[in-house]
């Protein structure tokens, strides 16, 4: 890894837009022409670029949003569009960019950063670890129940956005790892490559109880498959109706595909396992600012404890040392000091934080050292539903 100090991380300058668009297009098999619209949607200020002297070297897109942990939305900076032009690869520029980016986000006090990795080793060098999963569910529409047929759904209108977000939040709040979607992800929910998706809402006149957004993939035989970007229900009753609404597409529709965490509670309502589920991708998390990360998430209400950590972080100086996490009344307080009884690195803290691995499991694999008593307390503190996500970004 060569970490030359002559690299600079900053905004994407106009004169570098053409080579950057070229590198993104070749990296993600898309067109150069599609780039300006994508940058507008994401906000040009969110493009970070690496330069070496006059030359552009690499870029990434930061996506400000949140992620739910313990019933609270933790501010999270997502990363996408990491690209190095093919002729520059293997020089260490991506490693330098990611490490620099994380230090910048620490200064800005972002609690955590999350991304979908195309290679684990690159992001591990910036302190990210595997911390949650993204599952694909597929099923035949004909295998879904056609009942109940009421109440009716209605098409989504732009003025429904606030109600739509409230319904999604109800579903996502208690699902560790689900995104607190920002404008970038919401736009991807409503549109597929610039084309609006079909959106329908279950609305009782007071609030929205269910939503679905999809686009159709034409098959050679005139029938089509559906890909959902949103499938929300706020109660068991509305989940039954959302499933039967999907079933009502079965005369022309073949299969439906959607994404969620490792378990999707809506599917428990079916009489049989008529669906396939498959791990599509893992996501990685970087613990960026420890006090903000520990104090912004929710903790088990009935638990009162004092956990004493010793943390190592090769990238962020302030994350090193001994710290106490005091949990009480569902709140966490992170302060310097204590006996450092629980030894763990900042990267290994990520799968503990999300609930991807228990403390006991991390200890078994040599990624955490603690007494049996502290392990039991850690397992209780970080327990929760297995971390998953319903969106790719
Ligand atoms: C992935 C990518 C950004 C890496 O850029 P880079 O500047 O070559 O990366 P670095 O030189 O800093 O390499 C860091 C480490 O990442 C891993 N890595 C880099 N390229 C890799 C590849 N093609 N396959 C597997 N691992 C790779 C290696 O572990 C590498 O370390 P090593 O060279 O000591 O083995 C670049 O190959 C790229 O733009 N690819 C296409 C788009 C993409 O995959 N973006 C990431 C989306 S999450």
pLDDT digits (tens, 9 = 90+) for 130-169: 999 999 999 999 999 999 999 999 999 999 999 999 999 9
Distance CA 112, CA 132 (A): 14
pLDDT value at residue 222: 87
Task: State yes or no: pLDDT of 377 exceeds 60.
Answer: yes
Q: Which of 19, 20, 60, 90 for a ligand 1 pocket mutation test, highest count of atoms within 8 Å of Cβ?
A: 90
Q: Are 310 and 343 in contact (CB under 8 A)?
A: yes
Q: Which two tokens stand for residue 328?
A: 């009480």
Q: pLDDT > 90: what percent of the chain?
A: 97
The correct answer on CATH 3.40.630.30 for the domain covering 145-273 is yes
Residue 97 near ligand 1, beta carbon < 6 Å: no
Q: Is the pLDDT higher at 277 or at 4?
A: 277
pLDDT for 3 beyond 90? no
Q: How far apart are CA 319 and CA 105, in angstroms?
A: 13
Cβ of 2 below 6 Å from ligand 1: no
Residue nearest to atom 24 of ligand 1 (CA): 119
E-strand stretches of the chain: 7-11, 47-52, 55-69, 72-83, 112-115, 129-140, 154-155, 179-180, 191-192, 195-196, 198-203, 208-218, 224-233, 253-260, 275-287, 305-312, 321-328, 331-336, 342-345, 368-369
**Rounded to an integer, what distance in angstroms lies between the CA atom of residue 97 and that of residue 57?**
10
Residue 100 reports pLDDT greater than 60: yes
pLDDT over 60 (residue 105): yes
d(CA 240, CA 386): 23
Round to whole Å and give the CA distance between 116 and 274: 28
Q: Is the dihedral of CA 332, 333, 336, 339 positive or negative?
A: negative
**CATH fold label, 299-381:** Nonspecific Lipid-transfer Protein; Chain A (3.30.1050)
Average pLDDT of the residues in 76-90: 97
Mean pLDDT of 211-218: 96
Give the pLDDT confidence score for residue 4 in this predicted structure.
56
Ligand 1: residue of 57, 80, 94 to mutate (most ligand atoms within 8 A of CB) is: 94
Going from the Cα of 96 to the center of ligand 1, the distance in angstroms, rounded, reads 11
Element (H, E) at 163: helix 161-172
Domain ranges of the chain: 7-132, 145-273, 299-381
Per-residue model confidence as pLDDT tens digits over 215-272: 999 999 889 999 999 999 999 999 999 999 999 999 999 999 999 999 999 999 999 9
How far from each other are the two terminal CA atoms of the chain, in whole angstroms?
28
Instruction: Quote the tokens at residue 342.
Output: 């629980």
Q: Which pLDDT value is given to residue 97?
A: 98
Tell me if domain 7-132 and domain 145-273 are identical in fold: yes
Point out the ligand 1 atom lying closest to the alpha carbon of residue 83.
39
H or E stretch at 156:
none
Residue 171: CB atoms within 10 Å: 22
Closest approach atom of ligand 1 to CA 89? 8
The pLDDT tens digits of the residues spanning 24-55 come to 999 999 999 999 999 999 999 999 999 999 99
Domain 7-132, CATH: 3.40.630.30
pLDDT at 104: 98
Instruction: Please give the Cα distance from 83 to 98 (Å, whole number).
Output: 11
3-class secondary-structure state, position 74: strand
Chain mean pLDDT for the chain: 96
The whole-angstrom separation of Cα 56 and Cα 17 is 9
The CB of 60 under 6 Å from ligand 1? The reply is no
What are the strands of the beta sheet with 331-336, ordered from one edge? Answer: 331-336, 321-328, 305-312, 342-345, 368-369
Report whether 187 contacts 65 (CB < 8 A).
Answer: no
pLDDT recorded at residue 188: 96
């Amino acid at each position: 890894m060569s970490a030359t100090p002559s690299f600079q991380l900053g905004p994407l300058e106009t004169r570098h837009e053409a080579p950057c668009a070229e590198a993104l297009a070749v990296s993600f098999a898309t067109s150069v022409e599609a780039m300006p619209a994508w940058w507008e949607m994401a906000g040009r200020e969110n493009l970070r670029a690496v330069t070496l002297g006059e030359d552009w070297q690499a870029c990434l897109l930061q996506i400000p949003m949140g992620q739910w942990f313990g019933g609270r939305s933790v501010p999270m900076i997502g990363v996408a569009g990491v690209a190095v032009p093919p002729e520059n690869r293997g020089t260490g520029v991506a490693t330098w960019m990611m490490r620099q980016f994380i230090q910048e986000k620490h200064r800005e006090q972002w609690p955590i950063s999350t991304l979908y990795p195309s290679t684990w080793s690159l992001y591990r060098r910036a302190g990210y670890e595997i911390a949650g999963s993204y599952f694909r569910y597929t099923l035949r529409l004909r295998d879904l129940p056609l009942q109940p047929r009421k109440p009716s759904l209605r098409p989504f209108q732009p003025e429904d956005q606030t109600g739509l977000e409230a319904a999604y939040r109800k579903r996502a709040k208690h699902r560790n790892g689900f995104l607190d979607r920002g404008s970038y992800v919401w736009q991807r929910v409503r549109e597929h490559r610039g084309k609006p998706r079909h959106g329908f809402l279950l609305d009782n006149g007071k609030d929205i109880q269910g939503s679905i957004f999809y686009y159709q993939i034409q098959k050679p035989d005139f029938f089509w498959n559906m890909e959902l970007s949103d499938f929300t229900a706020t109660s068991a009753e509305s989940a039954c109706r959302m499933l039967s609404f999907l079933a009502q597409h079965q005369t022309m529709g073949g299969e439906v595909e959607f994404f969620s965490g490792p378990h999707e509670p809506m599917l428990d309502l079916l009489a049989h396992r008529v669906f396939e589920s498959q791990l599509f991708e893992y996501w990685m998390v970087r613990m960026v600012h420890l006090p903000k990360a520990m104090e912004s998430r929710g903790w088990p209400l009935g638990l009162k404890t004092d956990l004493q950590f010793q943390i190592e972080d090769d990238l962020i100086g302030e994350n090193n040392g001994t710290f106490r996490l005091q949990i009480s009344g569902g709140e966490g307080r992170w302060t310097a000091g204590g006996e450092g009884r629980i030894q763990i690195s900042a990267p290994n803290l990520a799968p503990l934080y999300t609930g991807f691995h228990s403390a006991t499991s991390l200890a078994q694999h040599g990624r955490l050292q603690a007494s049996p008593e502290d392990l039991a307390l850690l397992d209780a503190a970080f327990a929760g539903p297995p971390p998953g996500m319903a969106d790719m970004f």
